[in-house]
Amino acid sequence: MEKLIYEKPVISKINAGMPSKFGLPVKQKIISEIDGLAISDLMEKFGSPVFVFSEKTIRETYSEAKRAFETRYPKVQFAWSYKTNYLDAICSIFHEEGSWAEVVSGFEFNKALSLGVNGSQILFNGPEKSEADLTLAIENNASIHIDHFDELYLLIETARKLNKKARVSIRINLDAGIYPIWDRFGFNYENGEAWNAINRIMLADNLELIGLHTHIGTYIMVGSAYAIAASKLANLYVAIHRKFDYWLKYIDLGGGFASKNTLKGAYMPGTETCPSFDDYAEAITNALISSEIPHENLPLLFLETGRAMIDDAGYLLTTTLANKRLNNGKNSLVIDAGVNLLFTSFWYNLGIFPSKETSSFTEETTIYGPLCMNIDVIRDTIVFPQIKVGDQLVIERVGAYNVSQWMQFINYRPNVVLIDLEGKTHIIRKRENLETFKSLEFNPKL
Ligand SMILES: *Cc1c(COP(=O)(O)O)cnc(C)c1O
């Protein structure tokens, strides 16, 4: 007979009473494989911690979003938000699927060009565009989304110097019922600033106004906010035609769709509360098709969906380093992945799961990262089974922002691996090593 696994005894208070609204406790979910590949094999091959992306999930999510919009509206174009995850391999998958590029810096612009994206299929957002960046964008025929008046004047001057016409749009901030309003970006709709910017652009002979853009925020949990934003942009679109007898080419509603992660402090899990692509598509396309815009002049609709497109496809695999009982008696674990790799752990109660069957006994546990820093807490409280040193855990829905916002601190950033459609693995970003750092540093003492 196989020896039973030892489970340490724990005394805990029984909370008798009604089951919660989620019913009686369910069996602990485990994640033992990703796209058919065992977690233990992936970690043996690529080390711990390691980020793993599923190409299958990326493509499926993209198709789902595309279907939701294309079945409701005649002209739709997605543009991949580079800052959400700008690893070459990830961007290339989106471009293969037909996405344009949405960039917010000269660095991202050059990255898109290096991947073979045609400049005319790059949307250039953000408040940081130097004269060199604007020159690059004008010469590549990109859509420049102007953020503020100083940028507008710099652009007029830059285009004049190049003796070229710049294709532009403006970013608009507006009250869509989402507070606080992100009024630091773009021109305001309600106080007339956006209309003023539009008029100035129409007057500038070296600028061609081709679109209107807004990005109302991120993790927006109500489709109706997009309906408000879309109708406000539609009003401007019609007003431009009324005054200038000219139809713009596009309306861009930015990103901001919620992923299925659960925000800290949320009562219900994100999987239950976040709108689907269909919900967002319904709200946006309703607002556009029932606006004053004649159907034959409906604009191309751009979406710059970031987190909702990639979060589900990314996992972080990690190993348990220690089991500790805190002074107050609470259980805690130390794992080998910290908040420096998981920027989104500051916002979400990330889903963390064992990779194999463990004890059915669960208890409230704090999960710490390995950093020598008090803030390195991955989960403050999670009901978790007993875990041993060396046990492998899987953190799900970490595909958005973590591998772009991660910070090198105390240790190297790990391998990032892609599982392709055939189930083959590829390192798409190599683990850093001492040489990575030595090659950038200069020591005057040596
Ligand atoms: C960050 C960003 C996006 C993507 O936002 P998500 O919330 O990840 O969908 C899209 N457009 C602009 C202008 C952005 O800054």
Q: Given the CA of residue 218, which atom of ligand 1 is nearest to it?
A: 7
**In sequence order, which residues have a C-beta less than 8 Å from that of residue 194 and are 6 or more positions away?**
170, 172, 174, 186, 187, 188, 236
Tell me which residues have their CB closer than 6 angstroms to ligand 1: 81, 83-84, 102, 104, 125, 215, 218, 254-257, 304-307
pLDDT value for 12: 66
pLDDT in tens, 417-437: 999 999 999 999 999 999 999
Average pLDDT of span 80-98: 98
| Closest residue by CA, ligand 1 atom 10 | 255
Cα 251 versus chain centre, distance:
21
Between residues 10 and 89, which one has the greater pLDDT? Answer: 89
CA distance 255 to 154: 26
Question: Cα–Cα–Cα angle for 210, 122, 275, nearest 5°?
Answer: 85
* Overall fold of domain 55-311: TIM Barrel (3.20.20)
pLDDT tens digits, 354-401? 999 988 788 999 999 999 999 999 999 999 999 999 999 999 999 999
Segment 98-112 mean pLDDT: 98
Contacts of 20 (CB under 8 A, 6+ apart): none
The tens digit of pLDDT for each residue in 173-188 reads 999 998 888 989 999 9
HEC assignment per residue over 122-149: EEECCCCCCHHHHHHHHHCCCEEEECCH
Cα 252 to middle of ligand 1, angstroms: 11
pLDDT at 11 over 90: no
Average pLDDT, the chain: 95
Query: Per-residue pLDDT averaged across 250-273, rounded?
Result: 94
The confidence score (pLDDT) of residue 362 equals 86
Please determine, for residue 26, whether its predicted confidence score (pLDDT) is greater than 90. Answer: no
Query: Which of ligand 1's atoms lies nearest the C-alpha of 255?
Result: 9
Closest ligand 1 atom, CA of 220?
A: 7
Region 289-305: what's the mean pLDDT? 98
pLDDT per position as a tens digit, 116-139: 999 999 999 999 999 999 999 999
Task: Confirm if 131 and 120 have CB atoms less than 8 A apart.
Answer: no
Q: Is the pTM of this model over 0.75?
A: yes
- Residue 14's pLDDT band (cuts 50, 70, 90): low
pLDDT beyond 80 at 274: yes
Which among 385, 347, 386, 352 has a CA at the least distance from the CA of 368? Answer: 352
How much of the chain exceeds pLDDT 90, in percent? Answer: 90
**Arithmetic mean of pLDDT, 410-414:** 97
Mean pLDDT score, 54-81? 98
DSSP one-letter code for 300: E
Mean pLDDT value of segment 74-100: 98
Residue 9 pLDDT: 75
Q: What is the DSSP string of 23-54?
A: BS--PPP---EETTEEHHHHHHHH-SSEEEEE
Residue-level pLDDT at 358: 86
Domain covering 33-52+312-437 in this structure, CATH number? 2.40.37.10
Task: For the chain, give every residue range classified as CATH 2.40.37.10.
Answer: 33-52+312-437
Which residues of the chain form CATH 3.20.20.10?
Answer: 55-311
